[in-house]
Structure 1
Amino acid sequence: MPDSFNMTNYEQTFAEFQWEVPESYNFARDVIDRWALDPDRLALWWVDDYGNEDKKTFRELSDASQRLCNVLREQGIGKGDVVVVILPRLVEWWVINIACLRMGAVISPGTMQLTAKDIRFRLQMADARCIITTDAIAERVDEIYGECPTLQSRILIGGERAGWLRYHEAMATASDSFPTVDTAADDSAILYFTSGTTGYPKMTLHTHTSYPIGHTVTGRYWLDLRSEDLHWNLSDTGWAKAAWSSFFGPWICGAAIFVHHSDRFDPKRTLELLDQYPITTFCGAPTIYRMLVLEDLKQYRFSRLRHCVGAGEPLNPEVIDIWKEATGLTIRDGYGQTESVLLVGSFPCLEPRIGSMGKPAPGFDVQVIDDEGNILPPNKEGDIAVRVKPKRPVGLFKEYWRDPEKTASVFRGDWYLTGDRAYRDEDGYFWFVGRADDVILSAGYRIGPFEVESALLEHEAVAESAVVSSPDEIRGEVVKAFVVLRPGFMPSDDLADELKEHVKKVTAPYKYPRLIEFTPSLPKTVSGKIRRVELRNREWQDHRKA
């Protein structure tokens, strides 16, 4: 496996790139175990807020993952079984991911902010056989355990609870030898829940090649990783971006991953760590960079940092300028989805155009198309689409699990539709316009309006609600709810605060509406559907006028 994958000539690399997909592939065997042949090769460098550090080599992670495979097998977990993992940034999260891939189990990550109701939905929809989590989440699991008949194994990291297997106790006596399952290229491997416009989160299914091989382009070309790099990605472990930049992308290239375990994001502490540790590459959501540049960057040295990327939404030019003045580095944008790997990026070999997403990633024919599937000319807005015929590229999800109708809805002729809108300039650079639907992208979180509206309707004061995005300087956009009250209730600041707290309790707290506007009625179509687009346009137009 070569040490350096960086791209020096975009046009040549794009033209010559070919996907190599074997009939069988297992990331644990074909990547982790190969790097583990060097017993001293660093894979993970973990730190917390209390001075604790832990370094793990590929060999140590390989051995630990095999022990966990034996633990899971003793619990009756095997190939194809869904394992839900809800953990903060603990070393065990990486071990569990490797173990599930090794044994052919399907891993389904979730964020620590999930409520008992959220967890019940995920366990039921995925027919999960096992959940691995901490004591805080275990308490929520126990609330709904009786409603999840397929859940046969509960494994606890830290603490002790009745009915739960203690992770470290079981690992201490398990063998570190396990025969890796010879998984087929199209076997199911990863199940992510992702919010949509209507209904509850849909299940995005990836295979043993779509992410494990597909993220070759993410790691090699966009993150520009080399085997000697120490890469830091700030994504929550519950989101697909963690798979992108905290797992597959770096380890495909043999780079080590830096991990900071903390209960909250602290921009000052983040800058201190960038100064203190030999971090060479850095990935953060635009919200992160907006908060970092509010600090006094002159206090810090970035002597080892050589490459920075951002993803999730376009980044403000002034933020890019401030960061470059302090570090000498341009924050390079990248675009992709839970359903995909990197599709478009501002690669290091390209001349950056501030505000642009960049150009298509090698291995993908990405175009802007119209409603009939025709490629649009430059500077004409349309749907961002990926060509899937005559040959489907590696890196796209397999399906929305158990939802063939939804799966079919995102394909149009020869194209997969990302659900985003853009235009392409004369030189081939893509420029993001916005979502084609009502999904809200706030501080890196993807929030479906239906979930928030449903939570609001559970409150006795709410007759109707409509949820849209509202512009925000730090988060890019935030959740705003328009609320029609039931008879007998009056608008007030206290009621608005009560509704916000209610949503935090009913669904994951990051989804709560930061803004609430009481209104006597909501705009609707003739058929009675709420016209969110009218409310959203009003929000953004008012912001532009301000």
Structure 2
Amino acid sequence: MTQEPFNWDPPARYNFARDEIGRLAAERPHVRALLWTDAAGTVIDRSFAELAGHAARAAAVLADAGVKRGDTVLILLSREIEWWELMLGCLALGAIASPGTIQLSAKDIAYRRDAAQATCVIAGGDIAARVEAALAGQPVGLIHIGGPRDGWRDYGAEKQAAAPLTEIADTAFDEDALCYFTSGTTGQPKMTIHGHGYALAHRITGRYWLDLQPGDLHWNLSDTGWAKAAWSSLFAPWLMGAAIFVNHAPGFDPAATLDLLARFPITTLCAPPTAYRMFVRADLAGRAFPALRHCVSAGEPLNPEVIDLWKTATGLDIHDGYGQTETVLLCCNRPGASRIGAMGRPAPGIELAVIDETGTAAPPGTEGDVALRAGDARPPGLFTGYRGEPERTASVFRDGWYLTGDRAIVDEDGFFWFVGRADDVILSAGYRIGPFEVESALFEHPAVAESAVVASPDPTRGEVVKAFVVLAAGHSGSDALAAELQNHVKATTAPYKYPRKIEFVASLPKTVSGKIRRKELREQEWAKAEA
């Protein structure tokens, strides 16, 4: 397998707001940058020149609020158009943007403010009351989106009156720019820090996975509180000169999403596996998406059956991609180099391997740790560390490799095949069982909308496979259906992998990014055994 060259020659100084948005505003002032819509039918179409102007005024509002270079700003917004202005405004100032979901509790907000020592919090009406409860009496600047609010600066009014910031911070390539809170297996969420150069490294994401170019309109369904929004709703499309599509609406409605795909000239789509599962369980007959040419998925592996059903309905493949909050794209399926059910091959510029306990690359077909080579030269887009936690940072590096915490195998052709998170792998009577293969087998049954497979304690086998199953419309749980699903899995994959326990549930616990929280379900199982 030959790897195409990727020229990675990072500059000493870099600022995305200046070097990319400023350049595009000068070179292509009237070209579309952002097409924003909402549930009420509002449509805002902004060019690169208009985008740069709004970002410059956002930076001025932040500066007037006392935000300085190096300060951390919590941005607790959904898909309001102001999110894009303020993310760019923070970068322009040299402040550290820390996006968060509006689902955060008051306790979460207080923890994030204290851990990051944030000097400013930006929020809208959906979460502003929780911010007030969390930060009452603290000397923190508050900026409100959506109109006046007592005790807050009114962003809209101040932006309208502000003179645009003209001097963008000349930030160093490795200077702190982004702070993402990511949950670990134990303890409080850790702060994943990226430098300004992280934005530039998403050339890999935009070119080799999203397949973007000028003239494209890219829609990423990710919540803005997830790092995936930085990947596909901010940096990668604009690095490629493409435009970004946004729909600001409460919740996720698969039928409404498909309507928008048909109505607007969206050429590329990035959606989590949960969304595609809902799409293919909906009625796709007669639907047409005339502009759509390229589809990708990320967050966790996508079941092969979903990929097949989507292609049957639309004629389009779904290209799985893999990376983390700590990285840019690491590997993916690409047009002409794709294998259904695989994570894909490493992206150009990325040295990815499956390694054993000694840090040696494992032979094809052997399960091991997914690791990124991190020698003397830092790989493109790798995080700079977990803020304030040098021991935790050191714990994810071994023998010159960054350990992702995922387990996989590599086949003879260099394709990676996901087994599971290291702590999700089930050990039953001597067998190692990855949850993903069992979940994929279950999804092939028409009664299953979604499932999560975890280890459940067993006195004889140590652990057994348990499946939490969300049923498709028109089906109801019963002992007979559970037995049918068990037999289906036995016939679809190795019989020892079948779920010995099945529990029908209305929904599955998920992260804001749409990943199933198997850890939560697994802990529930073990807590029952200990009770």
What TM-score bracket applies, with the shorter chain setting the length?
0.7 to 0.9
Q: Quote how far apart the aligned CAs of 1:60 are.
A: 1.1
- Alpha-carbon separation, structure 2, partners of 1:91 and 1:520: 43
- Alpha-carbon separation, structure 2, partners of 1:361 and 1:289: 23
- Alpha-carbon separation, structure 2, partners of 1:19 and 1:517: 46
- Give yes or no for contact 1:358–1:429 (8 Å, CA) kept in 2: yes
- Give yes or no for contact 1:481–1:517 (8 Å, CA) kept in 2: no
Asked if residue 49 in structure 1 is aligned to residue 39 in structure 2, the reply is yes
1:169 pairs with one of 140, 157, 165: 157
Alignment of 1:69-468 (within 5 A): 69-146=59-136, 149=138, 151-210=139-198, 212-350=199-337, 352-437=338-423
Give the TM-score taking structure 2 as reference length: 0.82
3-state SS of the aligned residue for 1:264?
Answer: coil
- Identity percentage of aligned residues: 52
- Alpha-carbon separation, structure 2, partners of 1:256 and 1:478: 38
- Give yes or no for contact 2:370–2:408 (8 Å, CA) kept in 1: yes
- Alpha-carbon separation, structure 1, partners of 2:51 and 2:451: 37
Count, aligned residues? 458
1:457 match: none
- Give yes or no for contact 2:419–2:425 (8 Å, CA) kept in 1: no
Between 1:318-327 and 1:80-89, the stretch displaced more is 318-327
- Give yes or no for contact 2:180–2:191 (8 Å, CA) kept in 1: yes
Give the TM-score taking structure 1 as reference length: 0.79
- Alpha-carbon separation, structure 1, partners of 2:120 and 2:264: 36
Structure-2 change in CA distance of 1:341 and 1:100 (3 Å): same
Extract unaligned runs of 5+ from structure 1: 1-9, 441-470, 483-499, 525-546
- Alpha-carbon separation, structure 2, partners of 1:265 and 1:41: 30
- Give yes or no for contact 2:147–2:156 (8 Å, CA) kept in 1: no
Between 1:183-192 and 1:16-25, the stretch displaced more is 16-25
Q: Quote how far apart the aligned CAs of 1:402 are.
A: 0.6
1:447 match: none
3-state SS of the aligned residue for 1:122?
Answer: helix
Q: Deviations over 1:460-487 (max 9, x none)?
A: xxxxxxxxxxx885455389999xxxxx
Structure-2 change in CA distance of 1:94 and 1:427 (3 Å): same
2:468 match: none
- Give yes or no for contact 1:111–1:239 (8 Å, CA) kept in 2: yes
Structure-2 change in CA distance of 1:19 and 1:523 (3 Å): farther
Q: What do you get for the CA RMSD once the two structures are aligned? A: 2.7
- Alpha-carbon separation, structure 1, partners of 2:319 and 2:127: 36
- Alpha-carbon separation, structure 2, partners of 1:421 and 1:290: 24
Structure-2 change in CA distance of 1:330 and 1:120 (3 Å): same
Tell me the amino acid that sits aligned with residue 323 of structure 1: W
1:30 match: 19
Q: Deviations over 1:236-264 (max 9, x none)?
A: 00000100110101010010001011101
- Alpha-carbon separation, structure 2, partners of 1:107 and 1:231: 23
Identify the structure with bigger relative contact order (alpha carbons < 8 Å, sequence gap 6+).
Answer: 1
- Alpha-carbon separation, structure 1, partners of 2:527 and 2:275: 37
- Give yes or no for contact 1:480–1:516 (8 Å, CA) kept in 2: no
Structure-2 change in CA distance of 1:12 and 1:409 (3 Å): closer
1:462 match: none
- Alpha-carbon separation, structure 1, partners of 2:187 and 2:262: 44
- Alpha-carbon separation, structure 2, partners of 1:356 and 1:422: 10
1:463 match: none
- Give yes or no for contact 2:321–2:331 (8 Å, CA) kept in 1: yes
3-state SS of the aligned residue for 2:197?
Answer: coil
Q: Deviations over 1:124-174 (max 9, x none)?
A: 100000011102211001112137x4x531000113322100000110110
3-state SS of the aligned residue for 1:123?
Answer: helix
- Alpha-carbon separation, structure 1, partners of 2:284 and 2:82: 33
1:466 match: none
3-state SS of the aligned residue for 1:326?
Answer: helix
Structure-2 change in CA distance of 1:475 and 1:32 (3 Å): farther
2:54 match: 64
Structure-2 change in CA distance of 1:426 and 1:514 (3 Å): closer
